[in-house]
Structure 1
Amino acid sequence: MSIPFHVSPVDTVLVSARRILPGVALTACVAAVAVLLPRLLGLPALSPLVVAMVIGIGLRNLLGPVEGSAEGVAFSMRRILRFAIVLLGLQLTVRQIGDLGLGALAVIVLSLIGTFFAIKLAGRLLGVERGLAELIAAGTSICGASAVIATNTVTRARDEDVAYAIACVTLFGTLSMLLLPLANQALGLDAASYGLWVGASVHEVAQVVGAAFQGGDEAGQFGTVAKLSRVLLLAPMILLIGALASRARGSQGGRAPMPWFVFGFMAMVVLNSLVALPEAARGVLVPGTSFLLAMALAAMGLTTDLRKLRAKGLRPLALGAFGWVFISLVALGGVVFL
């Protein structure tokens, strides 16, 4: 008679840890390089998230998949990403949003919602796949690469779509960072108005900081808070996209996953509003969150095949350009009206 062999829960955890460790270590190394490289190059506005994805894509397409890393890379792309988005809530407070005033909040909300649905409509007219159009819409209207990868938890697009969407929002966000300060020399907006325009229209937080502070400290601070207000809207937008996806898949019996991490994000915003975190803790949490997001983007790059990316063609790029122009003009119109 054979004696049954029982595996303890501790052994199961250790086996799982050994299986994911190589891939997690690989994404952590890529993220570390991505965080250090902008500092070494003297380009603080260069997002470590984008650098991590580019390095990951380079490794994947030059060397091929790294043996034994698949499970850990997938862990970084899903579990670590969601944990990082929860921690992102600790960088926002309800008071910051209120300090902007109702008029500024209206400009931000209307620009975001109008841009999201305008890009979705334009994507349909251009023949861009629904999932890719939603990712470009989220990245353009909310907060760049972070919004793209967070939205994909409910959109469930292919990895190549995610990489393409991030490339779009990075390209056009960088153009905004360079061109908006020049445009303001002709427009002559005051510091608060210029900061609001930048915060309501530029894609990435780092790009907002780079563009807004060129208008002075007041413009920089106003632009940063305006941008963080857009980040706060990431949570309800993901819930809305998930509900739309569930309805679209209803006839096929499918269902979009419930993004529970979004509720964690909102809980952290509330916690940060009620309890003042020690500066020492904040000094660890802010760069730590950025590092975890960079790990997720590194994982995304490590699974991206450029041959599939090239097959997407130029229509998604045209869609990203349309969204960039649309949100810039709508936000400017709102600022001028306000």
Structure 2
Amino acid sequence: MPTVHAPSSRPTAVPGLLVATSGALVALAAAHLMPGTSPLLVAIVLGVVVANAGLPAAATCVLEPGLGVASKRLLRVGVALLGLQLAVSELADLGWGTALVAATVVVAGIGGSLAFGRWLGVGWTQRLLIACGFSICGAAAAAAVDGVIDSRKRELVTTVALVVVFGTAMIPLVPLVAELCGLGPRTAGLWAGAAIHEVAQVVATGTALDAAAGGVLAAAVTVKLARVALLAPVVSIIGVVARRRGDARGDDEAPPIMPFFLLGFLACVALRSTGLLGPLALDTAQTVQTALLTTAMFALGAGVRREVLRGVGWRPIALAAAATVWVAAVALAGVLSVSPR
């Protein structure tokens, strides 16, 4: 008599993905009701709350596969789609001086932040995530770096939370300091694009400054995207360094120096540069990108338990504050060298 095999019960990602999507929808709605609030920060806080709400162990096991998909695959797709915000022609319109300022901010920002972190005693992977997140493009940069180094989930979650909190604080601070320093609206906009962490935060600041003089928002966002353009080469260099240090992500086989999602990022830049995509397609892609990153942030937050949060300490917070001030100072010096007040 033939043996009847019971169907294998493989874990499904559906429950976790549904929970992460629901959390993202709540975060997006909250951000819509409270202008200036980042949905990424709301999502990550919601995820932490859910993770520490005393869910039964069985429920946690059911949700884990889907949360893992959201925190890795959806996150990387969101980073790739970020390339659709960047056109090569826009970078060319900046001029060599402003483009050099953006490159200087990224290089000096990362170098200075790593030095501060070393002095504070912050671990290499944590300070690298903070340095790149604060110097390039916030959560997307931190996620990209996390793809090539062997960092802990807690370190990525901490970095994302810090980059969103400190970047959001800069939204009112940059216009205030710009006014105290006597900067004109366009110069202030260039400074915002060169100094603030997240693209969305730059848009919020540039919108406020644009009321004083037209074209400020476009200038701020273009400078910011010039920093975003350096994401792929920076992560490739970090991948090489991580391999040499033995800190590359992966156990049996080292990951490629240029991860596939960064190749997708470059492909999206190329597609945007062709001019084939209209405003509707670009707006839709940006909405999808925000939704994916928000879903991923909820999943990342859901992976952090109470006992893990206790071990964060004050050092990453101090590094985040130092990195914010340092990047803003380098950006201001650079902008003043190429733009009159």
- TM-score calculated relative to the size of structure 1: 0.91
User: Which residue is 1:241 aligned to?
Assistant: 238
- Deviation sequence 1:90-111 (CA, Å, 0-9, x none): 1211111111111111111001
How many residues are treated as equivalent by the alignment? Answer: 329
Q: Tell me the CA shift for residue 254 of structure 1.
A: 7.4
Instruction: Write the mapping of 1:1-338 to structure 2, written as runs, cut at 5 A.
Output: 2=2, 19-41=12-34, 43=35, 45-64=36-55, 66-67=59-60, 68-216=62-210, 217-249=214-246, 256-258=254-256, 259-338=259-338
- Deviation sequence 1:258-304 (CA, Å, 0-9, x none): 21211111011011111421333223211011101111111100101
Alignment check: 8 A CA contact 1:246 1:254 kept:
no
Counterpart CA distance in 2 for 1:265 and 1:232 is 9
Shift in alpha-carbon separation, 1:254–1:193, aligned structure 2, 3 A = farther
Q: Tell me the CA shift for residue 192 of structure 1.
A: 2.5
Q: Which amino acid aligns with 2:68?
A: A
Structure 2 residue ranges without an equivalent (≥5): none
Structure 1 residue ranges without an equivalent (≥5): none
Alignment check: 8 A CA contact 1:134 1:155 kept:
no
Counterpart CA distance in 1 for 2:98 and 2:25 is 37
Counterpart CA distance in 1 for 2:109 and 2:150 is 21
Alignment check: 8 A CA contact 1:135 1:148 kept:
yes
SS at match of 1:53: helix
- Deviation sequence 1:124-176 (CA, Å, 0-9, x none): 12111111101110110011122112211112311111121122212221221
Alignment check: 8 A CA contact 1:50 1:145 kept:
no
Q: Which amino acid aligns with 1:224?
A: V
SS at match of 1:290: helix
Higher helix share: 1
Counterpart CA distance in 2 for 1:69 and 1:53 is 16
Alignment check: 8 A CA contact 1:161 1:309 kept:
no
Q: Tell me the CA shift for residue 2 of structure 1.
A: 5.0
Q: Which amino acid aligns with 1:135?
A: L
Most deviating of 168-177 and 50-59: 168-177
Q: Which amino acid aligns with 1:62?
A: A
Counterpart CA distance in 2 for 1:209 and 1:215 is 10
- TM-score calculated relative to the size of structure 2: 0.90
Alignment check: 8 A CA contact 2:41 2:165 kept:
no
Alignment check: 8 A CA contact 1:128 1:316 kept:
yes
User: What value does the CA root-mean-square deviation take over the aligned residues?
Assistant: 2.4
- Deviation sequence 1:198-251 (CA, Å, 0-9, x none): 101101112111222222232221111111221221111111111110110189
